[in-house]
Amino acid sequence: MLMHAFEAFSQVEDAEFVLILNEDWHQHWNNLCQEYAFKIPHRLVVGGLTRFHSVQAGLTLVSNPSLIAIHDAVRPLVSAELIQSCFKIAEFKSCAVPVIPFTDSIRYVSGPHNKTVAREQYRAVQTPQVFKSNLILQAYRQSWEEKFTDDSSVLESLGYPVILIPGETENIKITSPNDLQMAEIILKNRVKKAL
């Protein structure tokens, strides 16, 4: 999955890659790179207790003003088009966060009570999330809070607006065996289209 994500981002001009992994996985990753002759240059960073702390660790390597893309490794099917859109929007608007509408009905649950909410008012958030480096570095100087579920929530807590752009339904998050089967179908369809 990681290598697929790297490949998608490798088309970004002058991209520098930082991979944040739990320290226990570093040797395994290095072995995989050798086994599959993976050659995209990148720096390896030790991850933290939470996503917030892991991103914070990765951001310590940022020194020059730039655009920073933060991407979930479990979203290996991100397209080059979505990546380019995120960078293009962030360059002018300071950030870009891809989202997709919900197609299922949604219910709000609070303890034993629940109620229907209007799905039209909600979006599912994806990655990559792209930010101007000065903003995201400032945001990650904060202390961790439970409400920080993604990078846009960290930025938003400082009062900055989050710019939403259309995401992609194929940019799925692989967290279960069913997701993996879906990813295989998507990849097979992409190969057929390319032929």
pLDDT digits (tens, 9 = 90+) for 112-139: 999 999 999 999 999 999 999 999 999 9
Is pLDDT of 190 > 90?
no
Q: Grade residue 23 by pLDDT with cuts at 50, 70 and 90.
A: very high
Half-sphere exposure of 56 (CA within 13 A, CB side): 16
Half-sphere exposure of 2 (CA within 13 A, CB side): 18
Is pLDDT of 26 > 90?
yes
What is the domain range of residue 157?
Answer: 2-194
| Nearest of 153, 136, 121, 118 to residue 59 by alpha carbon | 136
CATH of the domain at 109: 3.90.550.10
* Per-chain mean pLDDT for the chain: 94
Is the N-terminal amide bond of 101 cis, ω within 30° of 0? no
pLDDT attached to residue 141: 96
DSSP 65-106: S-EEEE--TT-TT--HHHHHHHHHHHHHHSEEEEEEE--S-E
Task: Please list the residues that pair with 191 across neighbouring strands.
Answer: none
Helix, strand or coil, per DSSP, at residue 14: coil
CA distances from 41 to 22, 27, 45 (A): 19, 16, 13
- Residue 19: left if φ>0, alpha if ψ -120 to 50, beta else—which one? beta
Rg of the chain's alpha carbons, rounded to an integer? 18
With a pLDDT cut of 70, the percent of the chain lying above it is 100
Cα torsion for 98, 99, 100, 102, to the nearest 10°? 170
Is pLDDT of 107 > 90?
yes
pLDDT digits (tens, 9 = 90+) for 133-150: 999 999 999 999 999 999
Is pLDDT of 13 > 90?
no
Whether 168 and 100 have beta carbons less than 8 Å apart is answered as: yes
Q: What angle do CA 7, 10, 11 make, to 5 degrees?
A: 115
Is pLDDT of 194 > 90?
no
pLDDT digits (tens, 9 = 90+) for 40-89: 999 999 999 999 999 999 999 998 899 999 999 899 999 999 999 999 99
pLDDT attached to residue 104: 94
The amino acid that residue 166 corresponds to is: P
Average pLDDT value for residue range 174-187:
91
| Domain count within the chain | 1
- Chain-centre distance for alpha carbon 150: 9
